Structure 1
Amino acid sequence: MKRIGILLLLTLSLFSCKSSKRSKQKPSKDSQVVINAKRALDNYDNNLTNIEVIEEPNEPKLAEEADTKAIAITHYALQFEGVRYKWGGTTKAGMDCSGLVFESFRAHDILLPRISRDMAKKGDKITIRKAQEGDLLFFKTGNRRNTINHVGLVINTQKDIQFIHATTRGGVIISKLSETYWNDAFVEARRIL
């Protein structure tokens, strides 16, 4: 089986029209040789019937990359659970809601605005049914200007959407979107990744 594949590659390389200089160059890290086995069989009309074609992707899938990054971001945010609330805070000494989200994304090389209402202008707006781990939830919690003033990071969507955020009373906590207060204050969900 291995010999057949090698013979096939050699035959294809003999009929190649590349110059010798070009073929002696080292292949780049991102280069990939793709062989269309069916066309090779048709062109050379041999009696091979069992050719196994193994395709390796050239680049990692973007969705998988985003999922992995989302998990890393949420795990990073969870380390702050129990930290006291501090307006403008971004450390374990004290943190506010946008500081928690800002730091969790920044730790993974994604820069977001520092204020929740500005964060709500980034990424793509999604329906709550499509919310996934790493998405952001935005709220209006009764401020005078009737603008977004609170943000949470989705950490779990099993059964009920759970999010981590910082509140003035409880510090960094995990809440459920189904809780009456948060459900009534909810404005939108956005996907950054």
Structure 2
Amino acid sequence: MKQLTYLFFLCTLLVSCKPTSNIITSKSEAEKRGIYRAPQNKKAVARTSTSTPVRNENTPATTRKSVAAATPKKSTTKTVLNEKNADDYETEGDNSSYVVKQLINTAEANLGAGYHTGGTSPDTGFDCSGLMFSTFKKFDITLPRSSNDMAKIGRKLDQDEIQKGDLIFFRTNGRSVINHVGMVTEVSDDEIKFIHSSTQKGVIISSTKEPYYGRTYAQCNRIIVNL
């Protein structure tokens, strides 16, 4: 009798622990699950931030010494995605972190894809801005097509503000023009990890602790704007 009871308990436990899919890569799917809702007025949200001055393009980039991890703040306010998209869906409060998680999941699904100039799909490969463009496009967020133009939207961040999901930019050509972009996947006291498409290895995760990226780091921008 005890053996039968034990087997029944074990079977119940295995069924209850069956994994479920948590990755959502489209707004329509997220809406069905109750994560998103369409804004009522469908009007563009104008947001202008003056808290961080914009650096002149001719100003040399400062080499990153360390990165202070920002402490996430709980919020009960609404969140929208990139003020340039009039029809973006809204989320409530802490669901903004869920949006970030799904953006990272979408980008990381392309790990191992090759590099291809102008590419925006895993079939042909990605260039750096193509990976970011296609990732955000999954959520109906249309970014500019070049890394230099991407660096001009959203809000430029101080080092202690950088969080997962922010865009990270580099000047890898020895000039003052930004020419490389990735997405932040992890932030610690002295390191940022980011996913990007590199010319040599394709879609990979790299770190600002690597001398090349520590030396060429330019800035981080936040595309997801908290109201």
* TM-score bracket, shorter-length normalisation: 0.5 to 0.7
1:167-178 aligned at under 5 Å gives the runs 167-178=198-209
Matched, 1:120 2:151: yes
Q: Give the alignment partner of residue 112 of structure 2, picking from 82, 89, 98.
A: 82
Structure 1 residues not aligned, in runs of 5+: 1-29, 31-56
Q: Which has the larger radius of gyration?
A: 1
The equivalent residue for 1:191 is: 222
Structure 2 residues not aligned, in runs of 5+: 1-39, 41-75, 80-90
Q: How far apart are the structure 1 equivalents of 2:151 and 2:223?
A: 10
RMSD of aligned residue pairs (Cα, Å): 2.1
Matched, 1:69 2:106: no
Residues 92 and 122 (structure 1), Cα distance of their counterparts in 2 relative to 1, 3 Å cut:
same
TM (norm. structure 2) is 0.56
Residues 69 and 108 in structure 1, CA contact (< 8 A), matched pair in contact too: no
> Which amino acid is the alignment partner of residue 141 of structure 1?
T
Q: How far apart are the structure 2 equivalents of 1:163 and 1:171?
A: 13
1:96-175 aligned at under 5 Å gives the runs 96-143=127-174, 146-158=176-188, 160-175=191-206
Q: How many correspondences in the alignment?
A: 137
**Which structure has the highest helix share of the two?**
1
Q: How far apart are the structure 2 equivalents of 1:173 and 1:58?
A: 34
Residues 180 and 71 (structure 1), Cα distance of their counterparts in 2 relative to 1, 3 Å cut:
same
Residues 67 and 58 (structure 1), Cα distance of their counterparts in 2 relative to 1, 3 Å cut:
closer
Displaced runs of 4 or more, over 6 A: 57-61
> Which amino acid is the alignment partner of residue 85 of structure 1?
Y
